[in-house]
């Protein structure tokens, strides 16, 4: 199991949070998604390492920017 945290840019409301959770939750290997509107933090749990590019693409599909973890 792995956990990775990203920073999402541009979220302003609960609908934003729902959109990000829905898109990221559909990425293969993702087992859990938590989004904190106040901090912009996106925490992704996976069965193993989850493809960062797939997470970024999912956030962008939801309409937001993302800062990849270093």
Per-residue pLDDT tens for 29-61?
999 999 999 999 999 999 988 999 999 999 999
- The reported pLDDT for the residue numbered 20 is 98
Domain housing 41? 2-64
The CATH number of the domain holding residue 32 is: 3.30.70.100
Q: Which two tokens stand for residue 30?
A: 């993702």
Tally of structural domains, the chain: 1
- The reported pLDDT for the residue numbered 26 is 96
Q: Which two tokens stand for residue 57?
A: 């693409």
Residue 46 located in a structural domain: yes
Q: Which two tokens stand for residue 24?
A: 């990221």
52-61 and 14-25 are packed helices; what angle lies between their axes, rounded to 10 degrees?
140
Task: Give pTM, 2 decimals.
Answer: 0.91
- Does residue 68 surpass a pLDDT of 90? no
Beta-strand pair 30-36/41-46: antiparallel
* Confidence tier at 19 by pLDDT (50, 70, 90): very high
DSSP 47: S
Residue 22 located in a structural domain: yes
- Tell me: the pLDDT tens digits for 1-15? 899 999 999 999 999
């Amino acid at each position: 199991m792995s956990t990775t945290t990203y920073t999402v840019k541009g979220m302003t409301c609960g609908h934003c949070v729902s959109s990000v959770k829905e898109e990221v939750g559909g990425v293969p290997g993702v087992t859990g998604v938590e989004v904190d509107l106040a901090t912009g933090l996106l925490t992704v749990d996976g069965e193993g390492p989850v493809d960062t590019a797939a997470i970024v693409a999912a956030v962008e599909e939801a309409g937001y920017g993302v800062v990849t973890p270093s």
